[in-house]
Amino acid sequence: MRRLLRALVVIPLALGGGAHAADVEGQLRVTGRLMVDGNAPRDFSQGSSGGDTLDAVFGLLATGEGRYTADRWQVVGRYDGGGRKYVAFPGEDVLVQAAALEGSLAVGETLGVGMEGRAKDRRGGSRAYTDLAASVFFEHAPDARLSLRVRAGAHRFIYRPNFAASFGSPEVGFLARYRLDRRHAFTVTGEYGQRRYNASVRYPPGSSPAWTGRRHDGVLMASAGYSYKGPLALGLTYSYVETSSNSYGESVQRHRLSGTAGVLLPWKLTLMAQGALGINSYPDGVFLSPEITLLDDDEAQHMLSLRLARPLSERVDVELSFAMYGTELSRNGLFFFRQVGGVGITWRP
């Protein structure tokens, strides 16, 4: 399901001045998975999950991507739709749709402008929500090695189980890519938003405020990453997220170090690994907000996943996967642990 939750992969703007014929590209993939989830309800406990949370899961995902490139402009789009069906925990069944669209125009040899939008809707389970965002951007690519993008837009998040956790926010951000050579590349991103919620401010215990205002949060996100493409594909990213809230117990600082690796093995096998370590801190000494997670399987601070894939034919691949997720809440001793493993088949028409 991770593919289901990806945002649009940005394709660099072709800023060259030469005229060329329009180009159309597209692809479709359909993936079915049969999995075993060791903690289907995502319960916290005093230790690892017991056998009563084990469940079989069937997942189905369809992904379509397309790009239209003309003389000085292009349009890129992606749509994902799918779901999961649990046997013993039908309350965790989920249907998700996600779409992203970007249009860009070259206005000079090194400058470009464009608009981008994304939408995601999740139904079922305990985290049903709608997530919408749109922005305009300006891009500067002085040469093939460097690309700079700044954007400004709006973000609207609607959380159905608890509308008080819904928010609207203006956002600004930037993205910088630098390719040292054909194997080594660096990426730096930053984003800031002012989220205004539908909930009232929560005050510290024992306080007696004269008035009750609306909750608003300042959210700062930054990341720096390195990637290597050679006989072994590697990626390493550090990310930092800080939420500063005027509501007691809802401020948090998150540090996360994540890495990816992929290598081709004999017998047409591809091995892919992904891992992450996270550290959270709470300026108020407590965190009272519900953990609204936008991405499946990212509810944990720490994770490790392995995938082994092999083509069965020109259009069909088979994949074995296993992942572990964990989080420990040091103040109350609660521990979250989840293991998911299974087999998947991908078909490309």
Tell me: the pLDDT tens digits for 222-254?
999 999 999 999 999 999 999 999 888 889 899
Assess whether pLDDT exceeds 80 at residue 311. Answer: yes
Q: How confident is the model at residue 49 (pLDDT cuts 50, 70, 90)?
A: very low
- Which residue type occupies 18? G
Domain range for residue 210?
3-347
Q: Supply the CATH number for residue 51's domain.
A: 2.40.160
CA nearest neighbour of 53 among 43, 39, 64: 39
Q: What percent of the chain has pLDDT over 90?
A: 64
Give me the phi and psi of 24, to 5 degrees please. -120, 130
What pLDDT shows up at residue 12? 38
Average pLDDT over residues 261-277: 95
What pLDDT shows up at residue 198? 83
**For the chain, what is the domain count?**
1
Sorted by sequence, the CB contacts under 8 Å of residue 208 that are 6+ apart come out as none
pLDDT digits (tens, 9 = 90+) for 93-140: 999 999 999 999 999 889 999 999 999 999 987 778 999 999 999 999
Between these two residues, 326 and 288, which has the higher pLDDT value?
A: 326
Under 8 Å between Cβ of 110 and 142: yes
Whole-model pTM: value is 0.84
